[in-house]
Structure 1
Amino acid sequence: MALWSGRFQEQVGEFTQRFGASLPVDKKMYAEDIAGSLAHSAMLAQQGVISAQDAEAIAEGLAAIRGEIEAEEFPFDINNEDIHMSIESVLTQRIGDAGKRLHTGRSRNDQVATDTRLYMKKRAGQLMEANLELRRTLLEKAQQHPDAVMPGYTHLQHAQPVLFSHHLMAYTWMLARDFERLAAARKAADANPLGAAALAGTTYPLDRFATTQALGFARPIPNSLDAVSDRDFLLDLIYACSVSCLHLSRLCEELILWSSSEFGFVTMADSYSTGSSIMPQKKNSDFAELIRGKSGRVVGDLMALMMTLKSLPLAYNKDLQEDKEGAMDAADTLEDCYRCAAGMVATMTVNGGAMMAQAKKGYMAATDVADYLAKKGLPFRQAHEAVGHLVLLCEQRGCGLEDLTLEDFQNESPLFEADIAGCLDLPVIVAARTTYGGTGHEAVKVQMAEAQQQLESDAAAL
C-alpha cells in the first residue's frame, strides 16, 4: 500500500506503477535521502516536534538501512515508487510510529529537491576533480615536447607554424573555463529547499537554518514555491557538461586526424585503440571517436530538460520526475570522457618529425615574409600582394618559398636582401612569436606557468 493511499479506493495497475516509478533512477541518491532525513529528524527533535527517543530510533534505523543498501542487501520494491518511499516504508516497518513521524513538516516535493541538490553538488565536485586531472595531463604532455613544431591551421588549411605544446595548451584553457562553469553549477545547487514542504511551507516550527547547516548547504532557499520547482541548477550542470563535452569532442577530432596515415602526428597507445575484424592492418582511434559521439548525447540531455521545464506552472508537477536521469547521464558521461581523454593523451606517442615535415608544406612562412617587407616600410597590403605573387610562382614551379633564389625575391621587391633566408626557417619563425599568448618558446613557458598556477588555485577551491 502506497504511503499516500489513504484517499484512494483502488491502487494503480502494475503497468502504471512501473510507468510512474522513479526508483530505478533516484535510488542512486540513497545517501543524500538518508542524510536529509537525519537532518530533518534531528531538527524536529530540537524543535520539540518529535521526541528525542523518536529521533534516536530514526537515526539508528536509517544507519542500518544505509548499510544494507551499500551491501546490496536492501529490499527495494518497485511498489514503493521512489527512493524516499522505499526507505521510509522499510523504516516504518522496523521502528513503528517513530518512522511515521519522520515525514512531519516535509513533503516529497522538498525532499526530492533536497536529495537532488545534494547529489548534484557532490557530482559537480567530482567532475571538477576529473577536469583538473585532464588539465594536468595536457600540461605534462605539452611540457614533454617543448620544441615540436607543427602546422597551425585555419579552415583546416596550413596557416602558420606553431609549437605542439602551444596547441595542447589551448585545450587546457578551454577546460579551465569548463571548471568555472562546473563550479558555478555546484554553487547553484548549494541551497537548501528542505522545509518548503509541498509548496507553501508548514505550520510546524521548523528551523530551516539548522537543516541548512547540518546538510552543508550555503543558504536556505527563501521562497517555498521556488524551492520545490526550481531546476535551474540542473540546467547549469548539464550545460557545463555539454560545453565541456564539446571541447573534448574538438580535442578528439584532432587526435583522430593526427593519428591517421595522412597526418601521423601522434600514435595512439594500443590500450586506447581497436582493430578491424576484416582488415588486419587497422588501428582505429575508437575511444576518441566514442568521446566525440557521446558529446551529442550530453547535449541531448540539456535539450530534454529544457523542454521538460518549458511552460511548467508553479509549483511541483510530475514532469519534474524526468529531471534527474538526464543530469545523471550527463555527469556520468562527462566524467568517463575526462578519464578516457586523460588516458589517451598520457599514453600517446608524439611524432615531432612528422609534424615538422608537414609544417614545411603549404608556404607557412608567407606571413613572415610579408612582415619582412612591412618592417622595411612597404605598406602591409602591398607586402601581402607581393608575397602572394611569390607563392604563385612557387606553385607554378612546384617548389617551396625556401627554394626560391634571392634574385626571385628581388624581382618581386628590391627591399628583399640576403637576410630573407632567416624568415624561411620554421623554428625561427615560431620562436619570434614572443608576444603574450603567442606560440614562441618563451611565451609558451609563461603560459604554462600560468596554467600551473591556475591548476593549483582551482585545486585549492575544491
Structure 2
Amino acid sequence: MTMNKPVGEHETLLTEARLGTPPSQALIKYHDIPALAREKRQFREFNAVDRAHTVMLAEQGILPPAVAGLILEGLVEIRGMDPETFPMDPMKGSFLLQIESFLFARMSEDVGGQMHTGRSRIDQGATVRRLYKRNRLLAVLDRMNGFRAALIGKAALHSHAIMPGYTHMQQAQPWVFGHYLLSIVSRLDDDFDRLVEAYARVNLNPLGAVGLSGTSWPLDRQRTTELLGFGGLIDNSKLGREAFYAAEAIAALSFVMSTLNDLATDLHIWSSTEFGFVESDDAYCGTSSIFPQKKNPAGLETVKKAAGGATTWLATALATFRAEGTGDQAVRDLPLIDDAFDTVEGVLDLFTGIIETLIVHEKRMRAALDGSWCTASNLADVIVRETGLSFRQVHHAVARLVRIALAEKITPETVTAQLLDRAAEETLGRRLGMDETMLRTALDPDIFVKTRMTVGSVAPSEIDRMVEVARGRLASGLGWHRAENARIATASAKLDAATDAILVAHRQ
C-alpha cells in the first residue's frame, strides 16, 4: 500500500476535526490497513457510486455544473487507474476519504468536498458493498452454469451405465450413473435458484438513505437506482445500512458447497481401488513420495477440504450481527463473504474441469452387480403381484432367501425356485411355486432398470427425459444470466452517457 504525504500545505484529516490525537499505529495496522485492503477490491464499485451520485446531484441542480464537471473529470481519471497503484495513505482513513483526498489535490477541498453532499459514508459504503456482492454473485452464478453444463453432458454420456445404488453404504438396488449425476444437477438447480433469490435482495439501492433519517436535499433516488442497475430501492432509510442480505447470500453459497462436497465425497469413494467406478484425469491428481503406485485424487480432496469451512459461514455471519441491535454500524460489513465468494468460484472452476475429464469405468460398475442381491426388492414385488400376498409377508420370505443363499454361497444367478420355497416355508409356512424363468428375470439388474416405470426413476426413457429437463433449466439459468448482464450493461452505458453529457457541457 502506497504511503503518501499530505498534498499541499496541509490537508485536514476527517479525524482531526473531532479527535485530539491521531490514530495509533496499532489501530492503523489492525483496523485501517485491513479495511482499505478489502475496500480496494471494490475499486470499480466505489467509482460507479461516486459518479452516479455526482450525476444525480448535477441533474437535480444541487451541484453547480462547473463543480459537477470538475468532480466528474477527477472520477473519470480515477476510473482509468489501476486499483493496485491508486495512492493511499492509511492515516487518511477509509477508501471514501482516500478518493476525496485524490480529488482535493486536483480541485481543492471546497470543490471536491461537494461530492459528499446528501450522503453519508453509511449509505455510500452500503451501496458499494451491494454492488460488489451483486457482481460477485453474478460471477458465481456464471460458474454454476458452466458446472451444471459439464454434469449434464457427463450424465447424458453415461445415461445407461448401470451400477449398484447404495443406502447405508450397502448395495440397495441397481442404479444408473447418469441418474446419479442428474440428482446432483437437480440439487444445483435449487442452489442456483436460492442464489438468484438472494441476488434480488442484494440488488437494492440504499443510496440516499444517508445516515439514518434521509435528508433535506432533493435527491432523486430512482435516478441513482437506474444508473447503477439496481433492481429497486431500500425503501426505509433506517434499513439503508442493513447487511443481513449478506447472511442470506452466504447461506446460499453454503448450500452450493454442501452439494459440491457430497458429489466430491461420492466420487472420491468410487475412485478408490476397491470400487474403481471412476477415475480423475491425471491433470487433477497427485502422487505419493513413497508409494510409487499411487494416483491421488487431489482435485476432489481440495473440493472436500474447501467445503469444510463452508459449514460455519452462516453461523459466523449471524454471530457477527448478533450484538449490534439496530444501531451499531461497526459490524454491518461482513468480510467473510469475500472469502466465501473466492472459495465457491474457485471450487466450481476446479470441479468443472474434474467432471469434464472424469473417466467412468462402466464395465467395472456393471461387474459390481455380479453376485449382488440388490434386486431382491424387485423379486418381492414380482411375488406380490403373482401371489396376492402382502409385501411385508413376501419381504420376510425374500430376506430369508438371501440369508440362506449367503450362508450356502449361492448367487442370484444360481438360485432356484426350490430354495425360494424353502425360505417361504420357514417364514410363511407355505411354498410359493414360482416359475424358474420368472425368478431369474426378477433378479436381473438390467431388466430391473428397464422395468422401472415411475416418474424420476432409472428407466432409460426417464433418464432421457430428465436430461432434457436439466437442459431446459440450464437454458433458463443461462438466459437469466445473459439478461441480467445486459440490463446492468445498459445501466452502465447510461451512467457513462450522463457523465459524458455533463463533462461536454463543462468543457464548452
TM-score interval, smaller chain: over 0.9
Shift of 1:316: 4.3
- SS of match in other structure, 1:203: coil
Contact 2:104 2:113 in 1 (8 A): yes
Equivalence for 2:413: 402
Letter in 1 for 2:121: R
Distance 2:158 2:403 in 1: 34
The residue that corresponds to 1:208 in the other structure is 221
Aligned to 1:258: 270
- Length-normalised TM-score, structure 1: 0.96
**Deviations for 1:85-118, whole angstroms, at most 9, x for unmatched residues?**
2222112212223211111111110011000111
Partner of 1:42: 55
Aligned residue number for residue 103 of structure 1: 116
- Aligned pairs for 1:18-33 (under 5 A) are 18-21=29-32, 22-33=35-46
2:371 and 2:163 map into 1 onto residues whose CA distance is: 10
- Following superposition, the deviation at residue 361 of structure 1 comes to 4.5
Matched, 1:392 2:412: no
Are residue 12 (structure 1) and residue 12 (structure 2) matched? no
Percent of counterpart pairs with the same letter? 33
Q: Which runs of 5+ in 2 are unaligned?
A: 1-11, 425-430, 482-508
- Counterpart CA distance in 1 for 2:288 and 2:93 is 45
Matched with 2:64 is 51
Please tell me the residue identity of whatever aligns with 2:398.
V
Aligned length: 458
Match of 2:106 in 1: 94
Equivalence for 1:241: 253
Q: CA deviation at 1:80?
A: 3.5
- 1:331 corresponds to 2:341: yes
Deviations 1:43-84 (A, max 9, x none): 1111111111222222221121122225x4311332233322
Q: Is the 8 A contact 1:138 1:168 kept in 2?
A: yes
- Pair 1:270-2:289 in alignment: no
RMSD: 1.4
Instruction: Identify if the C-alpha distance between structure 1 residues 53 and 32 changes in structure 2 by more than 3 Å, giving closer, same or farther.
Output: same
- The answer to whether the 8 A contact 1:212-1:220 is kept is yes
Contact 1:109 1:316 in 2 (8 A): no
Name the stretch that deviates more: 382-391 or 402-411: 402-411
Superposed CA deviations along residues 252-276 of structure 1, whole A, max 9, x for unmatched, are 0011101110110011111111111
Structure 2 distance, partners of 1:360, 1:2, is 78
- Out of 75-84 and 116-125, give the one that drifted further: 75-84
Deviation at 1:398, TM superposition (A): 1.8
Is residue 305 of structure 1 aligned with residue 324 of structure 2?
no
**SS at 2:80 equivalent:** helix
Aligned to 2:477: 458
Aligned residues of 1:199 and 1:316 also touching (Cα < 8 A) = no
What displacement does 1:320 show? 2.5
Residues 123 and 331 in structure 1, CA contact (< 8 A), matched pair in contact too = yes
Q: Equivalences for 1:74-223 in 2 at 5 Å?
A: 74-96=86-108, 97-223=110-236
- What is the 5 A alignment of 1:336-351? 336-351=346-361
Q: Write the distance in 2 (CA, Å) between the matches of 1:78 and 1:346.
A: 46
Mapped contact 2:257–2:307 kept (Cα < 8 A): yes
**1:417 aligned partner:** 435
Aligned to 2:7: none
Q: Which amino acid aligns with 2:381?
A: D
The range that moved more, 56-65 or 135-144, is: 56-65
* Structure 2 counterpart of 1:441: 460
* Partner amino acid, structure 1, of 2:389: L
TM-score computed with the length of structure 2 as normaliser: 0.87
Higher mean alpha-carbon deviation, 427-436 vs 168-177, is at 427-436
CA distance in structure 2 between the aligned counterparts of 1:355 and 1:260, rounded to whole angstroms: 13
In structure 2, what is the Cα distance between the partners aligned to 1:80 and 1:403? 84
Which ranges in structure 1 are unaligned for 5 or more consecutive residues?
Answer: none
Tell me the equivalent position of 2:497.
Answer: none
Work out the CA distance in 2 between the residues paired with 1:337 and 1:359: 33
Query: Is the 8 Å Cα contact of residues 34 and 62 (structure 1) preserved in structure 2?
Result: yes
C-alpha distance in structure 2 between counterparts of 1:4 and 1:44, whole Å? 26
Instruction: Give SS of 1:160's match.
Output: strand
CA distance in 2, matches of 1:258, 1:459: 31
Give the AA of the match of 1:414: L
SS at match of 1:150: strand
Name the CA distance, whole Å, in 2 between partners of 1:250 and 1:404: 37
| 1:94-150 CA distance string (max 9 Å, x none) | 222321111111111001100011111111111111111111101100111122111
* Cα displacement string for residues 160-210 of structure 1 (whole angstroms, at most 9, x for unaligned residues): 011110011100001000000110111011111111111121121111111
Which residue is 2:296 aligned to? Answer: 284
Report if the CA contact (8 A) 2:15-2:22 is conserved: no
Give the distance between the partners of 1:239 and 1:126, measured in 2 at CA.
17
Q: What are the superposed Cα offsets for residues 369-406 of structure 1, whole Å, 9 maximum, x if unpaired?
A: 10111111121111101101110111111232222123
Does the 8 Å contact 1:275/1:282 carry over to 2? yes
- Distance in 1 of aligned mates of 2:260 and 2:371: 28
TM-fit CA distance, 1:415: 3.8
